Chains A and B, each alone.
Chain A
Amino acid sequence: MDTNTNFKHKMAAHCETGTLVGLLGNAGLEITEPMAFGIAHGIFFGYFESKNFPFPTFIVRTRPGEVREKLAKSLKIDINRLKFKNQEKGMQKLDDLLADGRCVGAQVDFFYMDYLPEWIRVHNNVHFVNIVGKDGDDYIISDSYHHQIAKLSASLLKKARWAGGYMAPKGFLYYPEKIITKPDLKKPIIKGIKKASWNMLNIPIPFVGVKGIYKFADKINTWPKLTRDTEHLSHEIMKINILLEDQGTGGAGFRYMYATFLKQAAAIVNNPTLDEMSERIMKIGDDWRNISYFAAKMGKNRDLGSDKIKELSELIRKQGDAEKAYFTDLKKVY
């Protein structure tokens, strides 16, 4: 198999940070996944009701692509970004880059990644993979969610790169051009922490940040009315677990990963308060994980009466209180 780049595949918690850390590592900048996530202030919350989705949903990280852009800006990494209207040209450019020995990040619709288990593949246009070689008609893919290097046919990759719809990839490719191999992380860490707190507390949109958690707590009580039947409600309630744990969050909706970032940051900036903040967000993460278990059990046992949903709603509201207090305190650190 021609991986042409000696790319070292490694699983990662999240696809965007995973591909980025992989590309940068391959180019000579070693940075951990939590550090990339923290500097780029990826931690977030948002509750969305949109016809783009089949059902209300929530996110636990910032907009797709932001982590890449904010990290590049903070560490002064020069990233080449390419979009293509013409599919043939977009595939040809990819082949040229691979032939030049480059590893290339790509935005794809997750649904077409046929090497992953069928039950997790949904249409989601903001999946990121590294393309690290070509073997005949197949592309060699390093996907953070797969335990080993995988192959994807050219026809599926093409569908995935030009999927259209919400957050359409438009053939997007990216790769680092110029990097500093040993950047000073102190300032970027502090800037990242400040911005994460601002995002969680101050964005002027009523369904994002801490306000988003409260919105979720309120709105979940309306979910029974939005579902077809009990099995549908069970499915949606169990998806809370997927969105918090299994959809590339590192567990507890990125809160565990953020705790790891703060632990690493505390050592770099030599600030023991960040150690304490790390322990605190780890505990908040544990409470999110309890919500995940609670929702999974509710769904499995079809224990979906309004009292039970209210109980779940209250647990989520408490998370809103906890995160409000937490990010208010984190904001005071710098």
Chain B
Amino acid sequence: MTQKSSAEIAKEVTQLIIEKLNITHVTPEQVNIETPLFSKDNELELDSIDAIEIVVALQQSYGVRINDELPTREILNSIQSIVDFLVKEGATEKVM
């Protein structure tokens, strides 16, 4: 099995967030993966309540659990930090 590149995982995660949060105004290609997820500059226009949905979506799709408050903030900083976390956990393949 060929390993997915970081860019591929980033695109998949962006797609997952867009789908789960029913974001209708942007495509994954329009999202900058380095921009802080919950900043005003992010194209996704997320707010804190969306963090819960993202944690649940990551758990359901990649089988990863995020259980502590401080790491949660760090992991959800940007799409790139989520990708880094998935790579670190060895959880880059979707479980569903």
Contact = CB atoms under 8 A, between A and B. Distances in A.
**Do any beta carbons of A and B sit within 8 angstroms of each other in the complex?**
yes
A112 B49 CA distance: 25
Interface residues of B, number: 17
Interface stretch (B28-36, B65-73, B82-90): B65-73
Given A50-B49, A63-B52, A208-B52, A165 B22 contact: yes
A168 to B, nearest CB: 4
B66 A204 contact: yes
Main secondary structure of the interface of B (DSSP, over half): helix
Given A168-B22, A204-B66, A52 B48 contact: no
A52 B49 contact: yes
Nearest to B52: A205
Contacts of A55: none
- Chain A at the B interface: mostly helix, strand, loop or mixed? loop
Contact of A49 (B47, B51, B68): B47
Given A164-B24, A165-B22, A204-B66, A49 B48 contact: yes
A206 B69 contact: yes
Interface residues of A, number: 18
Interface string B21-47: 010100000000000000000000101
Interface of A: 46, 48-52, 63, 164-168, 170, 204-208
19 contacts: A48-B48, A48-B49, A49-B47, A49-B48, A50-B49, A52-B49, A63-B56, A164-B22, A164-B24, A166-B22, A168-B22, A204-B66, A204-B67, A204-B71, A205-B52, A205-B69, A205-B72, A207-B48, A208-B52
